[in-house]
Amino acid sequence: MRHRIAGRRLSRDSEHRLAMRRNLVASLFEHETISTTIEKAKEVKPFAEKLITLAKKGTLSARRRAIAMLGNRSMVSDEDGRLVKKGTIIGKLFSELGPRYLDRPGGYTRIIRLSMRRLGDNGRLVLLQLVGAEESSKKEARTASQKATRKRVKDTATKSDTAEERDEERDEAKRQ
């Protein structure tokens, strides 16, 4: 019995679990969405959220703690057959992701279950995503629709004002 034993073993020894968790979180921060199994996603989610909370602080000690917990892997892309360094995971975490979630009290990641299963062992696949990248586009769309609605209301208000003015002018003309 596993009473009072936290965490999942995931059929790995402790060093392999730690390395896997670090790699998954680094990939999540680099790509902002990853596909993995549901068990791994549930294990990685609290670790990623703790690192984002550290990034929200933005202090030197928080940066050093994040490097100790995660490592400072480089982000590299392939451009025209050459590998080009784009920065580091910790740099992106503290410069982009931390400021993005300053006003959010928690819940920086989401797990979306996919209908597909993995071919080899029929494991449940999920998407582990950072929340907020698509919300900014939704906010922009929402503000645009709100502006359009305000404009329509304003236009109808001016039309109704002019209609009311016309009615008043007609009434005055009838009185005279």
Residue 113 belongs to domain with CATH number: 3.90.1030.10
Length of the chain (residues): 176
Assess whether 92 and 175 both reside in one domain. Answer: no
Percentage of residues in the chain having pLDDT higher than 90: 72
Nearest one of 79, 77, 78 to 87, comparing CA atoms: 77
Assess whether 31 and 104 both reside in one domain. Answer: yes
Alpha-carbon gap, residue 33 to 130, rounded angstroms: 6
Band of the pLDDT at 2, cuts 50, 70, 90? confident
Q: Which two tokens stand for residue 162?
A: 């002019």
For the segment 99-155, what is each residue's pLDDT rounded down to a tens digit? 999 999 999 999 999 999 999 999 999 999 999 866 654 555 566 666 655 655 555
Has residue 56 got a pLDDT over 60?
yes
Say what the pTM is: 0.74
Q: Which structural domain range is residue 111 located in?
A: 14-131
Alpha-carbon gap, residue 45 to 24, rounded angstroms: 10
Assess whether 137 and 158 both reside in one domain. Answer: yes
Assess whether 83 and 165 both reside in one domain. Answer: no
